[in-house]
Each structure stands twice: as structure tokens, then as C-alpha cells.
Chains A and B, each alone.
Chain A
Amino acid sequence: METLGHLAHGFSVAFSPINLIWCLVGTTLGTAIGVLPGLGPALTIALLLPITYQVAPEASFILFAGIYYGAMYGGSTTSILLNTPGESATIVTALEGNRMARSGRGGAALATSAIGSFVAGTLGTIGVAFLAPIVVKFALAFGPAEYFSLMVLAFITVSAVLGSSSVRGLTSLFVGFVVGMIGVDLQTGQPRFTFGMSELLDGVDVIVVAVGLFAVGETLYMASRRYAGKDDIVPLKGSLYMTAAEWSRSWRPWLRGALIGFPIGAMPAGGAEIPTFLSYAIEKKLSRHKEEFGTVGAIEGVAGPEAANNASAAGVLVPMLTLGLPTSATAAIMLSAFQSYGINPGPLLLTTQADLVWGLIASLFIANVILVVLNLPLIGLWVRLLKIPAPQLYAGILVFATVGTYGISQSPIDLVILYLLGAAGFLMRRFDFPTAPVIIGMILGPLAETQFRRAMTISNGDWTVFYKHPLSLTLLTLAFIGLVGPHIWAYIEHRRMRGPEHVPGDA
């Protein structure tokens, strides 16, 4: 109950008019930069760091937190409407969200993502306020062996996004592995697949790949089929907002997404991408409308990942505020802002800087409210974007994708990569290879590799670490069940349902 007192005090800090204004500025700016691919919260906060010389610590952290949460909202808008993810955490949102937008349910997709973000963001912030010490203990128990097992589990579950042909899906996944390996190998310092180009030593940004494959590839495909008269975009069908059925299909994914996102976000190597993949896979598995996935777009596939991504954004704050551990680029920049004030985040931060920390947590609640208020009325406006005739709309997307990509590192090489990937995306689309597994392979592949090699280095080459650690064993067991469970289940069902005559080939 001590926490409630602290929180009340935090609200008194955050509710001062000047701090409310900072919160509003931060959330608005955050939404805007989240919309633009490339200009992410980490870069924006880094550029705004000099502000720490001018204003009080509370004010600047409230501003930064607003930007951070706002970017998570903004990123989903372009993912859904334009298939151009502004943030790596909203890549999964584009999968179903854009399908929904094309079939006239863009408004509902935006609404479920905004409300889901609010619900999960609020739950996540409650988690930061009340569960931080427990969650961090759990997160620290994750060593390289556990992370590797978690990646195995993630790989098993992402088979859900591989599409109808597993050969094509796996091909895409492996292409992603290769792209993910470009750059200096963290474990040995050796360059891989860089072809002697120093610009490639840091690897290829996942946003460039996502925008190239999704937005540019899609645009080229649309242009090539301009006169085929297929795949018309319906700006709006039925209600602008969510129908009763859509509400009832959304609330469970929101809660599940928040439950997956928060703890993984709190893990030092968790991040925001993995929980969105996991949430998507789970929603696809549990949905009663599986036929909508990948066709007209299933609302569960938007609601879950969006909730997961916002809850993980809150989770990232747990190790930062309790241990001084930055687990994302944005958190690392926020840490250096702490240092500008001569504050060293660490285990003692909560006691030495109670005003600051609780003011920050309170402002996160406020930021969430401001964001949902800011975003819901805008949905009508955003959806009208789709009324633009296709040639102009796609030309606009192309300009937008190019400008955004250039913004990531002001590197012309990135633009070359963007258009090469765009061409690849076009060919993949033309020959029916799914593009999402490329992104998943690119994110999960190097993570799994790194964690595997770390685990093996620490154990001095002893393979048994993966099943000797109880947590790791549990995760591997879950992965195994995920792999063979459905087959066994299908076999049992099959045996029970089967009549006297055998139906061939219904596996």
C-alpha cells in the first residue's frame, strides 16, 4: 500500500500544468515520429537530449516518456493503413491490419489498436508501479541458455505466419536469416556478408527491410497489376469504429497481449518484437475466424500484437528504473539523459529519486489517456487517406517510405538496399512467397544464434545446459508440445471421427 501513496504523490507531480503540457507535447510529437518510418523514439530523444540542460528532470522525463509511448501508437497507424511499419514493434500489426484496411475495416483496426494500446499500456504501467521488483527477479533468471530456448519456442510458434506452403515460408525465413547475419559478428568481431562495404558492417536495419518488402514491394506489385482490375481498396465498409462483434473479439487478445508483452519487455534481451510474434501466433491459433487471417484481415491479429507491443514498452522501464539496465535503444538514451542531471539510475534510484520516478510513472498513465483521446477522433481522418485514388496513394507511400528510410541514418546505401528489397518483395509477391517470415527470420535468427553461442561459451561447450536449467527445459518442453501436440491431437481426432472409409490426404 506504500506504493499507492507513492503513486498519489507521483500524480501530484505529474498533474502540475507545466508537466501536463510537456506530456501533451511528448505524446503528440511521439505519435508524429512513430508515423514516419526511420524517425523512431530513440533518435528523437537523442536529438532532444540538449533540452536536459534547460528544464527540470521531471519535465524532460515526462516529455521523453510521452514520446516513447506516443511512437508506439503512431507506428501502428501507418502499418495498418499504408503497410509501412514505422517501428519494428508494429511490423506484425501490418500483417492483419493492412488486410483489414483493404477490406474496408481500417477504422476498426485503428480503433482496436488504439484501445488495445491503451488497455495494455495501462496494465503495463500498473505492472511497472506494483510488480517491478518481482518481475525483474524473474527476468534476471534468464541467461543465454533460457533465451535460446525462448527463441526455439518463438520459432515453433511463428510457423503460424509461414503461410499455406511451408516450403515457401521456410525459404522466406532463411532469406531473413541471411539478411540478419549481414554485418560484424558480435561474438567474434568478424564481418559477414558485407562484401567489403563499411556501410554494411553494422548490418541492415529491420525497418528498411520491412518497409522495402511490405511498402515498396507492394507498391510495385500494385503498379504491375494496375489494369488487371483486382484487389481494389475499399475505403470504408460499415461502421467507422468497432462493431459489437469486433469488441467481443478484441478484449481477450488485448489482455493476452498485455500478459505476453509485459514480462518479455522486462527481460534484458526480450525486446518488443518477440512478444508481438508470439501474440500473433497465439491469436491465430485461438481464433474462431482463422479463415480471416491473411485474407480479409482478422481483428484478433491486430488487437493482440498491438497490446503486446505497448505492454512491452512499459516492461522495458522495469529493468531501467529498478536496475539502471537499458534494454532498448530508447531506454539507453533515456539513461544518458539521467546522467546529464547527475542522476545515476540503479537499484537505489527508487529511494533516492522518488519524486522523479513516481512522477514519471504517473505521467505514463496520463500519457496513455492523452494518447487514446488524441488518436480515436483522428481515426476518421486517417481512414480517408484510403480514398485517395490508388496511383496517387501508392506514389505517396513510395515517397514516404523513401524519406523515412533516409531518415534512419542519412545513408544513401540504405536507399539502394530499400529499392533492392522492394524489387525482391515484388518478386516474392508475384511468385507467392510470404514476406513476413523474412522479417521474423531476420530478428529471431541472429538473436537465437548469439544466445546459443553465448550459452555454449559460458558452459565451455557443454550441450546439457539447455536441459539442465529448469527454466530452459520448461521452454523447450513447451516448444516440443507446440511442435508435436497439434499432430497428436489431429491424429486422435481423426481416429475418433473416422468412419469405416478412409479419406486419403486429409492431414
Chain B
Amino acid sequence: MLNRRRFLMSTAAAGAAGLAASHFIPAFAQDAPQLQIFVPAAPGGGWDQTARAMDQVLRGEKLISGSQITNVGGAGGTVGLPQFVNQWKGKGNALMLAGMVMVGAIIANKAANNLTEVTPIARLTGEFEALVVPAASPFKTAADFVAALKADPTQVPVAGGSAGGSDHILFGLIAKTVGVPATNLSYVPFAGGGEALSALLGNQVAAGISGYGEFAEQVKAGALRLLAISADKRQEGIDAPTMKEAGIDVELFNWRGVFAPPGVSDADKAAMIKLIETMAKSDAWATECKNRNWTQILLTGDDYAKFVAEDTARIGTILKDLGLA
């Protein structure tokens, strides 16, 4: 008897958790469409947060009646992608989250499917990256850092996220631009920006590269010095030059966007683009982005497709230089 009680208890727990994730269709919005969002990552990460913020804003603006979020995590999205391509084919009300991380993972993991097989809808947000040093570092400017890197890259250990991820790619791009061979770099990968942060605060490494949001509070508190950011222009409230201004001709956004499945009708595609554009222009979306340090870099349809193709080529080259592809 008790194992039944235990079973009921566990299903109750799972049910309670599930309840919060999915939403009942509110009566006032019966005519609005129901959206299905496919997140090729575990709950809690950047794509998942984007999906849940989208759900929140779209429902708040009464653009959809509700949405169902499916998580299939693993290997930078390359576990979920084949499922979206094969099993979600033709679903006009479905969207998949993806981004620069998946572009890199597809190349590095030599995945069977890639982003040319899905229907580009919109690039939504990006997080620009930051080059930081500990407060006690002798590097006062990005130029100091570049000079040291040119002198002997092996003496400048740089911490960041996992090998082949956006942080590593940016480091590779910086090195390439200033003429340092990528194979000589001393890159110290950590499981994420947080762990890399501890290495910086403990003065274990010379510099760090990660999303600006990971370092923002430490920069404000004076524990880290921000040398440059990878955005296209100076950012309000951030006292640091862009990489280009600092003499490193690199621009990089760790972008996130949405794709529809393969084989959707043109009408569905156009409707979906319109839906996402309306959402992206709402105040509620602007607030979500501001709270999470996401920069809005909206790009839709064919422009988006062109951008994905260019970014794939650029990332492919740099991963090859870094010996990862």
C-alpha cells in the first residue's frame, strides 16, 4: 500500500511542477492561437528563459491564448534539433529557440542536422561579451592586454566558458584580428561564467571573457576592471569602449532567435514573423530584456537567414583555427 502512496506523492510533485510550467487557456482569449515552443535545452538556461519570457509577454499582450513549452536538452541543442526537424515538421504554430551556441555545437559535434533545415523567423536578443581583468591586474586598457598577448600568448591565461563556446570563439577572433596564432592561446575553460568569475576574483588568471551580465555586478563593485565590450556601439551606463574603439576589430553578440519547423506554409511563416515582431516591439518585452541584460537585436525573415549563414561561416573558420572543427 505504501508504495502506492509514495507513487501518488511523487506524481503529485511532478504534477505540481508541471502545472506551473504549462498554462490553462484563459477564457477571454479563446480566439488567439495556442503556441508550441520547443526548447533544445534543459529548463533554466538562456533559451529556456527566453521561451518563458516570450510566453509571459505574448499572453500578457493577449497575442496568444497560451503556450506549451517542451524541453529536450543536451549537447548545445544538437540532441533536440533532429527531433524538431523530424517530428515537428509542418507545424505552423511551433517555434524552436536557438542561437550562436547551437551554431557552434553543430559544427563542433559534427551534427547530422543544421539550421538551414529549419525556417528562420527572427533573431530576438543578444548578449554582448566583456573582456575583464582582476582589479589588481597590470592591464589598464585593452591595448595593454593585446600587447601582452602579442608578446607571449602563453603567459596570458584567459578564463571563460566551455571550449568552443561563445567566450572561446571571441578570444579566438580577438587573437586572429591582432595577429596572434590561435593555437598558442592559453584559454582556461570553466563550466560557466560563474566559475570563471571565481578564478578572476581569486587572481588565478590574467583576464576573463564572458557575457557582460556575468561580470556586471563585480565591475560595478570595483572587483573587476572592464577593458572592452564586444557590442557594436557604446552602451548606456557602461563605462567601457567597444572592442573596435579599443583597436580590436571584432564585434560579437551571443545571439538568440527563433525558428519554425521545416515545411511550414508561407502564410504561417508570415503570421509567425508578425506575431514575434509585435511582441518584440511591446513595452513588456523591453522590460524583460532590460531586467536580464539582453540587448534587442531584432532581425526577421530573409535578413535573419542571411545572418545565420554568415555567422555559421565565421564560427566555422574560427573553430577550425582553434582546432575544434
**A residues in contact (CB < 8 Å) with B:** 29, 32-33, 35-36, 39, 42-51, 53, 139-144, 184-191, 198-199, 201-202, 268-269, 319, 323-327, 329, 332-333, 335-336, 339-342, 344-349, 381, 384-385, 388, 392-393, 396, 399-400, 403-404, 407, 409-411, 454, 457-458, 460
Q: Identify which of A32, A187, A202 contacts B189 (C-beta below 8 A).
A: A187
* Pair B72/A460 contact, Cβ less than 8 Å: no
A47 touches B43 (CB 8 A): yes
Contact of B191 among A186, A191, A339, A400 (CB under 8 A): A186
**Residue pair B157, A29 in contact (C-beta under 8 Å):** no
Contact B188 A46 (CB under 8 A): no
Give me 27 A-to-B residue pairs in the complex whose CB atoms sit less than 8 angstroms apart, sorted by A's number: A29-B13, A32-B10, A35-B9, A43-B44, A47-B21, A50-B20, A50-B52, A143-B199, A184-B109, A187-B163, A188-B163, A198-B75, A201-B74, A201-B78, A201-B109, A202-B75, A268-B195, A327-B198, A332-B192, A335-B194, A336-B49, A339-B49, A339-B213, A344-B293, A346-B221, A385-B2, A458-B205
How many Å lie between the Cα of A199 and that of B195 in the bound state? 25
Residues of A within 8 Å of B49, CB to CB, are 49, 336, 339
* Minimal beta-carbon separation of A236 from chain B (angstroms): 14
* Chain B contacts for A347, CB-based, 8 A: 217-218, 221, 223
Q: A141-B202, A187-B163, A411-B74 are in contact. List 10 more A-B contacts (CB 8 A).
A: A44-B17, A50-B56, A140-B202, A143-B204, A268-B198, A327-B195, A388-B3, A399-B7, A458-B204, A460-B155
C-alpha gap A246/B230 in the complex (Å): 61
Tell me whether A346 and B186 are in contact (CB under 8 A). no
Tell me if B13 and A33 are in contact (CB < 8 A). yes
By a CB distance below 8 angstroms, the chain A residues around B190 are: 454
Contact assessment for A460 and B154 in the assembled complex, using a CB-CB cutoff below 8 Å: yes
B138 within 8 A of A: no
Nearest-neighbor residue (CB-CB) of A338 within chain B: B291
Cβ of B217 and Cβ of A346 under 8 Å apart? yes
A344 and B217 contacting across the interface, CB-CB below 8 Å? yes
Task: Tell me whether B162 and A393 are in contact (CB under 8 A).
Answer: no
- Verify A32–B12 contact, CB threshold 8 A: yes
> Shortest 3 CB-CB distances between A and B: which pairs?
A346-B217, A46-B43, A46-B44
Provide the bound-state CA to CA distance between A488 and B323, in Å.
Answer: 49
A47 x B191 contact (CB < 8 A): no
What is the bound-complex CA distance between A53 and B60, given in angstroms? 11
Q: Assess the B13–A39 pair: CB atoms within 8 A.
A: yes
- Give A400 to B13 CA distance when docked, in angstroms: 14
Interface assignment of B306: CB less than 8 Å from any CB of chain A: no
CA distance A46 to B195 in the complex (A): 20
> What is the bound-complex CA distance between A396 and B7, given in angstroms?
9
Known: A35-B9, A140-B202, A186-B163. A201 touches B79 (CB 8 A): yes
- Whether B162 lies near A189 (C-beta < 8 A) is yes
Minimal Cβ-Cβ distance residue in A for B222: A347
A191 to B52, CA, bound (A): 31
Q: Hey, what's the 0/1 contact readout for B226-269 against A, CB within 8 Å counting as 1?
A: 00000000000000000000000000000000000000000000
**A396: B residues at CB distance < 8 A:** 3, 6
Report whether B291 and A342 are in contact in the complex, using a CB–CB cutoff of 8 Å. yes
The binding surface of chain B is classed by DSSP as helix
Taking A35-B10, A323-B201, A332-B194 as contacts, is the C-beta distance between A47 and B17 under 8 angstroms? yes
Q: List, in ascending order, chain A residues with CB within 8 A of B290's CB.
A: 342
Contact A385 B44 (CB under 8 A): no
Give the docked Cα–Cα distance between A171 and B154 (Å).
38
Query: Please, which residues of chain A bring their CB within 8 A of the CB of B221?
Result: 346-348
- Nearest B residue to A28 via CB reads B13
Q: Which of A32, A187, A336, A457 is the one whose CB lies under 8 Å from B44?
A: A336
B20 touches A51 (CB 8 A): yes
Cross-chain contact A49 with B109 (CB below 8 angstroms): no
Q: What residues on A are CB-neighbors of B55 within 8 Å?
A: 50
**Closest approach, in angstroms, between the C-beta of A39 and any C-beta of chain B?**
6
Verify B220–A29 contact, CB threshold 8 A: no
Tell me the bound Cα distance from A173 to B72 in angstroms.
31
Q: Check if B14 is an interface residue, CB within 8 A of chain A.
A: yes
Q: Which residues of A contact B216 (CB under 8 A)?
A: 344, 346
> What residues on A are CB-neighbors of B202 within 8 Å?
140-143
Q: Is A340 touching B44 in the complex (CB atoms < 8 A)?
A: no
Q: Give bound CA distance, A198 to B74, whole Å.
A: 8
Interface string of B160-181 (1 = CB under 8 A from A): 0011100010000000000000
CB of B204 within 8 A of CB of A409, answer no
Distance, CA A349 to CA B221, complexed state (A): 10
Question: For the complex, is B197 an interface residue (Cβ under 8 Å from A)?
Answer: yes
**A410 touching B72 by the CB < 8 A rule?**
yes
Chain A residue nearest in CB terms to B72: A410
| Distance in angstroms between the alpha carbons of A44 and B7 in the assembled complex | 17
Cβ contacts under 8 Å, B12 to chain A: 32
Does B111 sit at the interface, judged by CB under 8 A? yes
Bound together, the chains give a CA A140 to CA B12 distance in angstroms of: 41
Residue ID in chain A nearest B82 by CB atoms: A198
Cβ contact of A458, chosen from B3, B111, B188, B192, cutoff 8 A: B188
Q: Which of A36, A39, A46, A199 contacts B42 (CB 8 A)?
A: A46
Nearest residue, chain B, Cβ from A330: B44
Residues of B within 8 A of A36 (CB): 10, 13-14
Q: Which of A46, A202, A349, A385: most chain B CB closer than 10 A?
A: A46
**Cα distance, A141 to B202, chains bound together (Å):** 6
**Residue B109 contacts which of A51, A198, A336 (CB distance < 8 angstroms)?**
A198
- B73: Cβ under 8 A from any A Cβ: yes
Interface status of B27 (Cβ within 8 A of chain A): no
Inter-chain contacts of B7 with A (CB < 8 A): 399-400
Tell me, yes or no, whether B151 is within 8 Å of chain A by CB: no
**B163 close to A199 (CB less than 8 A):** no
Contacts A381-B2, A393-B3 hold; do A269 and B217 have CB atoms under 8 A apart? no
A44 to B201, CA, bound (A): 31
From the candidates B186, B197, B213, name the one contacting A460 in the complex (CB within 8 A): B186
B324 at interface by CB-CB < 8 Å: yes
Report yes or no: A47 in contact with B3, Cβ–Cβ below 8 A: no
**Chain A: minimal CB distance from B153 (Å):** 10
Which chain A residue has the least Cβ–Cβ distance from B155?
Answer: A460
B274 within 8 A of A: no
The answer, among A43, A326, A393, A457, for a CB contact under 8 Å with B186, is: A457
User: A36-B13, A186-B191, A400-B6 known; A345 and B291 CB under 8 Å?
Assistant: no
**Chain A residue nearest to B79 in the complex (CB):** A198
> How far is it, in angstroms, between the C-alpha of A329 and the C-alpha of B48 when the chains are bound?
15
Q: Which of B2, B78, B216, B323 has its CB near the most chain A CB atoms (within 10 A)?
A: B2
Contact B291 A341 (CB under 8 A): yes
Q: Is the CB of B44 within 8 A of A333?
A: yes
The docked-state distance in angstroms from the alpha carbon of A30 to that of B289 is 31
A385 to B155, CA, bound (A): 60
Within 8 A of A (CB), among B277-319: 290-293
Nearest CB of B to A185, in Å: 8
Closest to B291 in A: A342
- Choose one: A33, A186, A342, A460; the contact of B162 (CB below 8 Å): A186
Check if B52 sits within 8 Å of A49, measured CB to CB.
yes
Q: How far is the CA of A342 from the CA of B12 in the complex (A)?
A: 32
A457 contact set on B, CB distance < 8 A:
157, 186-188
Q: Does B108 sit within 8 A of A, measured CB to CB?
A: yes
Q: Are A340's CB and B74's CB within 8 A?
A: no
Q: In the assembly, what is the distance between CA of A345 and CA of B18, in Å? A: 27
Q: When the two chains form their complex, are residues B20 and A409 in contact, meaning their CB atoms are under 8 A apart?
A: no
How many Å from the CB of A56 to the closest CB on chain B?
Answer: 16
